[in-house]
């Protein structure tokens, strides 16, 4: 949202603090950065728990809160980049993903409720991830606060349950038809 960068400092693994990170194939640099440091020093910052909160993408999410970002198919390994360093050492995590991929189309109706126009062909929430890049059980053991945010629902993983807990459903989304 406009004006929110005044309240947060964004970082990227190459050593950028502040500004507006570039996206897509330009991931890493930032427009109007506040500070730069060497990449190895940035990883020391991440590994030392320097972040208050991290917002990270997720390719697959299991019912136990495990996340895969590195092997999205049995034949393709993309590598996790700084994901492991950031996710293991940040106290508060938000994993961001659509509920499905490849064809998902949503819209807001006149009541500002979400409608799923076309469901994606690939499910992101799976019984077991192809590769465990983040462990929900280990996060609970370490006392991390972990949320999983999608366009239709918000989940969390805590010590109260051994699986994800549904904490919020977007207006217009139906529990049985659109989530379960």
Q: Strand locations in 3-141, DSSP E?
A: 11-12, 16-17, 20-21, 30-31, 35-36, 53-57, 60-62, 67-68, 92-96, 100-101, 105-108, 114-118, 122-123, 125-126
Structure tokens at 152: 């239709």
Note whether 124 and 72 are within 8 A (CB).
no
173 in Cβ contact with 152 (< 8 Å): yes
- Sheet of 53-57, strands arranged across: 53-57, 92-96, 145-149, 153-157, 165-169
- State the Cα–Cα distance between residues 132 and 91, nearest whole angstrom: 19
- Assess whether 13 carries a catalytic annotation: yes
- The catalytic position among 1, 2, 13, 177 is 13
Confirm if 32 and 24 have CB atoms less than 8 A apart.
Answer: no
Tell me the catalytic residues. 13
């Amino acid at each position: 949202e406009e004006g929110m960068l005044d309240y947060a400092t964004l970082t990227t693994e190459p050593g950028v603090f502040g500004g507006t990170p570039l996206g897509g194939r330009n991931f890493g640099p930032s427009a109007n950065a506040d500070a730069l440091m060497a990449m190895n020093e940035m990883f020391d910052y991440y590994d030392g728990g320097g972040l208050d909160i991290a917002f990270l993408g997720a390719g697959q999410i299991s019912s136990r809160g495990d996340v895969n970002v590195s092997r999205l198919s049995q034949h393709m390994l993309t590598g996790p980049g700084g994901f492991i360093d950031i996710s293991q050492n940040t106290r508060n995590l938000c994993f961001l993903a659509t509920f499905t991929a490849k064809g998902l189309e949503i819209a807001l109706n006149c009541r500002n409720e979400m409608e799923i126009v076309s469901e994606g062909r690939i499910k992101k929430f799976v019984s077991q991830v192809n590769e465990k890049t983040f462990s929900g059980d280990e996060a609970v053991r370490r006392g991390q606060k972990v949320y999983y945010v999608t366009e239709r629902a918000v989940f969390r993983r805590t010590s109260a349950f051994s699986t994800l807990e549904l904490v919020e459903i977007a207006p217009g989304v139906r529990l049985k038809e659109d989530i379960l």
